[in-house]
Structure 1
Amino acid sequence: MSAFAVTPSTQALASAATPSPSPLPRPVRALELPEILSLIGRYLSQRDALSCVLVSRTWHDSFQPVLWGHVETANEIPPEDIISHARYIRSLSLADLTGLEMVLEKCTRLETLILWPDAFENEEDEEDEDDEMEDEDEENIVREEVASKANVLTLLSGGRENEPQGSGSSSSSNSIRTTELSQSPQPPPAPHPVGQQGLGLDTTSSNRIDSVATKVRRDSGVGDDTVGVGCIHKGADWDSLTKNPSAITTIEENMELLSVQEQKSALALEIPSFSQSKPQSQLTNLILRNRNITRVEVYVERKSPGGSFWRALAVPPTSPWCPCPRLSAFQSLVNLQVYKHIKPFLQMCTRLESLDLERCSLRQLDDSYYTSLDFSKMKELRFGRIKDTSLQTQLLIMQRCPELRSLEWRVPRLGFPVQEFCESLRTSWPKLTTLVLPESRLTDSELAQIVVSSGCAITVDTAKSMTGAKASSEDRVYFSINNRVNCSSPDSTKGKMGLTRFEARRSDFAHESFRALKERGHFKTLRNLDLYQCPGLASWMIAEILCGCPLLESFDGHQLFAQHIVPHSNSNYWSNNRNNNHNSKDNLWVCRGMRYLDLHFTGFSNEPEHDVERQWQVFAQLARLENLVYLSIGGKSARVPPVNVGSRYGNGGLDLRLRSGLGQLCTLKKLRMLRFTGAEQQMTVEDIMWMIENLPELKIVQGKLHPDQVEQEKLERLLESNKISAWTMYNQPYGAGYKRQQQQQQHQQQQMHGESSV
């Protein structure tokens, strides 16, 4: 072959010389950025996160913290999986500690700890005997515990004494040391052996520098006639010492060395009362390893947590030994009868912002001890049926919470200290906005006194300043002035805000309480109102609440009659209570932000065809509440018939059919549950299909859909095919699917019985 044949062509050379263009980088997608995915993860449930981790590697890494953020050992998750993902766990619910030793060691980033009864069954803690200790004995125990913790300071002293003297320490400094020791009334204390627990602890914390420095200055003899052990004698030649800097250094070291006993006394109150040298329980060690814990929940009645558990939580956050300095919330169902447990428990409560105790048994101490406690951080307090502690003592604890915002007190039917409680409302809790008194059986007049003491009257002319709409500067000034000055209450209640949440379930709430709630201005601030099973709550009161509380978001009441929703001209109530300038706009419900509404709508004609106009008007009122998530229009139970309100109006309920105005509820796009138990319906397939198509968030329908059982099961199957649960009975999912499941189980049992007999 010729040489010319093997020579590359000019075109080939040119193409080889020209580099091929590099591909453009793929644009970054927003849903692939870890920062955005982490923000999305805050709004996802664990079930949703489980689906997201399977999308891609980026999604897997971003949503792992959401998937493993909360772990419950009761779900029988393999310990190996928990250990491998321990760095993501922020909330841990422990049902049993068997086989979880490594899990407890690896979980070091917890923020919430939930403990159930079985978690305490095999716990071994220090001896906790129920001894009636005298004050002397208790002081001796504290003194011994302080001595055991003093190894931190002894480490300092031991290190200083064992240091070799440097070249700067001349004979003059040695003579000074010898002279001072010889003139001291007693020789200096010998240093204790250095323990392991003293290593690594902060002995120069800023919260102790001032107190230690004060002790050193006082022991130096300057300006003080007394001479401490090993301190410089006041007769020493100070001027000659100042000429020798090395001598001054030695003197300062000597002062710090020989004031160890004084420093121990200064730190006695800050040293935790639990001993790290003693064996601790597994739960106590878990707390010591998790400094980020902010919330602890304990649900146990049979056995109380051990003493080291409570003492670890009782260490004040200012102490360098505090295991969990961020602890702010505690919720419990526990019995505390051991003398050694109750005081650390109460000391722990002084650290909290939120305390929730339900059906606890707390050993009562002297009132003088409770008055010595400071609960100045407490903002939310819930006491529910506490045993072995008197109501007066419970109220005494409440009075020690000046920053209280929310208070729930569930007490027995008799013995509520009304007068003392009202006085506390006026003077002790100026920032209280939430008051919950469930099942207290208070009379109407007693509730009225409590409501009057809860806040001062508020006068607001413009509704937009209360509903959060943009208001002018004049409106804001007017609201601020009237909120704090225009009060018809005693001076002690001036400046107090109105209630945002008020609950008095199963009480005698009636006319006096309603008048106090309205005239004191709470209508303008209420967001949550719960008057469940209050027979004194009249229908006209409910109508005024719906028309006069613009911020109301949750309302649980009694029966609401049709004539008070859409008044007739001959209605006795409206003819007696309306002003001459009354118009139709005054009847509109103003609580446009309502999310939860539970009322028994009744008083319609027993024949819905004869009352279509009022049915339409009531649906129009409900359509205004566009933020509704839960709507209940029936009674509390299907077995209890509604109260007969008279033959003139009837006792029929709201008719959920398109011909009666159901179509107006198309504005309720957020509705998730519709309940009409006690108000039997006669719905059709058309009505059900409309609900499926126009209420996209609907998940549960509770009530009797049709009196005929065949039609009922047909409508239930239609709902279930669209992933909407149909509950026939009150709080019992006995729908068609449940019935079919029961029938299949019965059929299988019959077949098995027949085979065994053969």
Structure 2
Amino acid sequence: MEKALGLPEIIACIGKYLARSDILCCIRVQKSWKSELEPLLWRTFTCLPSIDDYGAPSTERRPNLILMQKNAENIRRLYIEEMNPAYHMQFFCQCSQLEEITFSADKTVLRSVQAELRLWERLADMIQNHSRLRKIVIKSSPSKALAPSSTLLNTLLKCPKLIVFETTECTFNLESTEAYLRANSGNIRRLSTRHDKFSEEFDFSSSDLVFREMRYLDLREVADMSIETQIQWITRCPNLISLYWETAQIIPTTKFCQLVPTSCPNLTALHLLLPLHDQEIEQILEAIPRIEKLSLTRTHFGRLSFEALRRHFPTLKDINLQLAPGASSAMIQEIMSSCPNLQSISGETLCYRDIVKGPWVCQNLQMFDVGIRVLELEELKDEEEEEKEGWTVGMHRAVYARLSQLSKLEYLSICNNDYPDEGLLMLSLDAGLGQLETLKQLTFFSCKLLLCQPRVREEAVRTVEWMVQHWKYLESLEGGLTLWPEDDGVYEKTMNILKEHGIQFLDYQDMLDDMDGDYIDEDEEEDFDDEFTDEYEGEYLDDEYDDPEDEFLADMLNNIDM
């Protein structure tokens, strides 16, 4: 065994499954381990800012420039939180294996328009010298809107392997709007524009641009570009597979249904955050030939929409109906019992009577995110608390028995924040939680504020101990414990258990203050293959829309004895 662990091939294989902290421990064991594992620490690197959020010098520890240059060739993903060309330029040029760049301007000081233009010129020089680049992300902010230059955008055409381009809160004049679209009409397969501002003068009718390679198009609150122009943009993507479209403007549904299905015959994923009424959704669902993934959050989804959706039951894989109050519990149940290929479902409410009334066909479900209600409010009015608990425990166990059948679940959320405490599924081993030991693949569990209920909190430590014992792959637990006014030690004990097993605790109450309502997805998994395989390409082209953050542990790197 000792000889095997000295083989570079074995060490490299093991290293793929180690966390950064584990790698840091291993490289101190012996030199052969260090030489094989140390490069893995640099696969993702963040250029930390020199100032904090208040403009004062940052206390973040950063590797020195010599150490950065020495390991530059190991970097695959580079996150730039502050662009300082005078300091970083030579380091950038030595990142010969770079495949992904994310540039955020929040901490970059730009004192003039000329300074910003020089920044884009430097970034363009850097990009065109890295032929392995596959993904570029430019993040701006409302307080410091960036205006990527035509020089930079034209450089994208010189990146032969670039397939993903994302921009946020950027501003484009007419010249740069045309350059932006021209750059994305080449090899780009996934394009995301979020809260960008384009020139209102641009019109597709005077352009021959066609986005033949485009597979995933993400248009979120595009400013100054008319809805008609956005529809023209969509129809210029003949091989489009997935459309994410968010706007507060009224869309011409009839025109959309006439043009998009014929122009984009391969379109099977629709993520529509639009002010759509029931009849409009019905019209769209009837016009699209085949739907596999569907998101209709914040819409007036209702009876007509549901009738039109039934036609897509045989092909439906993922559906999101959260914040769509018209999507009733009975509708959620019918979707779960009628879609044999369903892998993910999100909705507002699923009631006891609908959960237990029939078998569930979707045995391959990997994600379940629906608030479960055991009792309706009218059933609670005339019952005393102690009586309620006695006659409902069988109902809770019946619900858990149904959930236990979904043995392939990786993501489970059983509660929404909108509900009062009464009537929700009880998070208790006595109420049947133990039946979920069948969920062997579970990596994420959310009970939101259920942990704050008095009876649940009394058993919180015991419950969490059960979770870590039976859910061996659990990575994240989302709940609320800090709301309890008394210091009963439950929070500290629970945190110690989770920390001991390497499980992240996401405090739901804190998250409510900072997020828009959706779960922040887990860090994107590192890929250590040097070859650009179809599997690696899928990492960039997967139909997901969350922004993974994988911040580099610079302070630990400073402690490595080089």
TM-score, normalised via structure 1 length: 0.58
Aligned residue for 2:33?
59
Distance 1:396 1:35, change over 3 A: farther
- Selected match of 2:246 from 401, 406, 410: 410
Q: When the two structures are aligned, how many residues end up with a matched partner?
A: 475
Aligned residue for 1:282?
122
C-alpha displacement at 1:325, in angstroms?
1.4
Distance 2:71 2:269 in 1: 40
- Segments of structure 1 that go 5 or more residues without pairing to the other structure are 1-25, 129-277, 316-321, 456-497, 568-586, 643-650, 735-758
Please list the CA deviations of residues 234-268 of structure 1 after superposition, one character each: whole Å capped at 9, or x if unmatched: xxxxxxxxxxxxxxxxxxxxxxxxxxxxxxxxxxx
Segment drifting more, 348-357 vs 59-68 = 59-68
Distance 1:715 1:64, change over 3 A: same
Aligned residue for 2:147?
304
Q: Secondary structure at the match of 1:342?
A: helix
- Selected match of 1:668 from 439, 457, 475: 439
Please list the CA deviations of residues 386-411 of structure 1 after superposition, one character each: whole Å capped at 9, or x if unmatched: 11111111111111111101110111
Distance 1:102 1:83 in 2: 8
Q: Secondary structure at the match of 1:285?
A: helix
Question: Does the 8 A contact of 2:404 with 2:439 survive in 1?
Answer: yes
C-alpha displacement at 1:733, in angstroms?
10
Aligned residue for 2:532?
none
Aligned residue for 1:730?
509
Matched, 1:540 2:330: yes
Q: Secondary structure at the match of 1:383?
A: strand
- Selected match of 1:441 from 275, 281, 296: 275
Aligned residue for 2:492?
717
Question: Does the 8 A contact of 1:681 with 1:707 survive in 2?
Answer: no
Matched, 1:659 2:430: yes
Q: Secondary structure at the match of 2:313?
A: helix
- Segments of structure 2 that go 5 or more residues without pairing to the other structure are 49-59, 381-387, 514-562
User: 2:328 is matched by which residue type in structure 1?
Assistant: A
Q: Secondary structure at the match of 2:73?
A: helix
Q: Secondary structure at the match of 1:362?
A: coil
Distance 1:417 1:120, change over 3 A: farther
Please list the CA deviations of residues 604-630 of structure 1 after superposition, one character each: whole Å capped at 9, or x if unmatched: 265131122222211111111223233
Aligned residue for 1:222?
none
Question: Does the 8 A contact of 2:204 with 2:233 survive in 1?
Answer: no
- Selected match of 1:563 from 335, 353, 357: 353
Distance 1:389 1:708 in 2: 48
Aligned residue for 2:339?
549
Distance 2:344 2:315 in 1: 13
Segment drifting more, 382-391 vs 588-597 = 588-597
Q: Which has the higher strand share?
A: 2
C-alpha displacement at 1:449, in angstroms?
1.1
User: 1:433 is matched by which residue type in structure 2?
Assistant: T
Aligned residue for 2:81?
95
Distance 1:369 1:310, change over 3 A: farther
C-alpha displacement at 1:33, in angstroms?
4.0
Distance 1:716 1:279 in 2: 47
User: 2:131 is matched by which residue type in structure 1?
Assistant: R
Distance 1:705 1:80, change over 3 A: closer
C-alpha displacement at 1:384, in angstroms?
0.4
RMSD: 3.1
Matched, 1:109 2:83: no
Question: Does the 8 A contact of 1:333 with 1:359 survive in 2?
Answer: yes
Larger radius of gyration: 1
Aligned residue for 2:529?
none
Distance 1:561 1:641, change over 3 A: same
User: 1:612 is matched by which residue type in structure 2?
Assistant: V
Please list the CA deviations of residues 264-319 of structure 1 after superposition, one character each: whole Å capped at 9, or x if unmatched: xxxxxxxxxxxxxx998221211122111111111125231333212222x4xxxx
C-alpha displacement at 1:369, in angstroms?
5.7
Aligned residue for 1:430?
265
Distance 1:703 1:39 in 2: 35
C-alpha displacement at 1:433, in angstroms?
1.8
Matched, 1:333 2:321: no
Aligned residue for 1:396?
232
- Selected match of 1:364 from 200, 204, 207: 200
Aligned residue for 1:229?
none
Aligned residue for 1:258?
none
Distance 2:483 2:161 in 1: 58
User: 2:150 is matched by which residue type in structure 1?
Assistant: G
User: 1:81 is matched by which residue type in structure 2?
Assistant: L
Segment drifting more, 620-629 vs 440-449 = 620-629
TM-score, normalised via structure 2 length: 0.77
C-alpha displacement at 1:719, in angstroms?
1.8
User: 2:488 is matched by which residue type in structure 1?
Assistant: E
Distance 1:334 1:663 in 2: 47
Matched, 1:507 2:299: yes
Q: Secondary structure at the match of 1:110?
A: coil
Question: Does the 8 A contact of 2:100 with 2:133 survive in 1?
Answer: yes
Aligned residue for 1:524?
314
Question: Does the 8 A contact of 2:148 with 2:170 survive in 1?
Answer: no
Q: Which has the higher helix share?
A: 1
Distance 1:123 1:531 in 2: 46
Distance 1:115 1:729, change over 3 A: closer
User: 2:83 is matched by which residue type in structure 1?
Assistant: L
C-alpha displacement at 1:372, in angstroms?
0.3
Aligned residue for 2:403?
622
Question: Does the 8 A contact of 2:464 with 2:494 survive in 1?
Answer: yes
Question: Does the 8 A contact of 1:70 with 1:90 survive in 2?
Answer: yes
Distance 1:112 1:454, change over 3 A: same
Distance 1:292 1:732, change over 3 A: closer
- Selected match of 1:121 from 110, 117, 127: 110
C-alpha displacement at 1:359, in angstroms?
0.2
Distance 1:354 1:609 in 2: 54
Distance 1:126 1:727 in 2: 40
User: 2:81 is matched by which residue type in structure 1?
Assistant: A
Distance 1:676 1:701 in 2: 8
The answer to which structure, 1 or 2, has the higher relative contact order (CA under 8 A, 6+ apart) is 2
Aligned residue for 2:360?
589
Aligned residue for 1:641?
420
Distance 2:483 2:137 in 1: 47
Distance 1:127 1:116, change over 3 A: closer
Distance 2:120 2:296 in 1: 44
Distance 1:660 1:27, change over 3 A: closer
Aligned residue for 2:254?
419
Matched, 1:452 2:286: yes
User: 1:723 is matched by which residue type in structure 2?
Assistant: L
Aligned residue for 2:517?
none
Aligned residue for 2:546?
none
C-alpha displacement at 1:524, in angstroms?
2.4
Distance 2:512 2:236 in 1: 46
Aligned residue for 1:682?
455
Distance 1:728 1:54 in 2: 34
Distance 1:658 1:367 in 2: 61
- Selected match of 1:693 from 469, 489, 497: 469
User: 1:294 is matched by which residue type in structure 2?
Assistant: R
Aligned residue for 2:177?
342
Distance 1:681 1:428 in 2: 56
C-alpha displacement at 1:667, in angstroms?
1.2
Question: Does the 8 A contact of 1:358 with 1:385 survive in 2?
Answer: yes
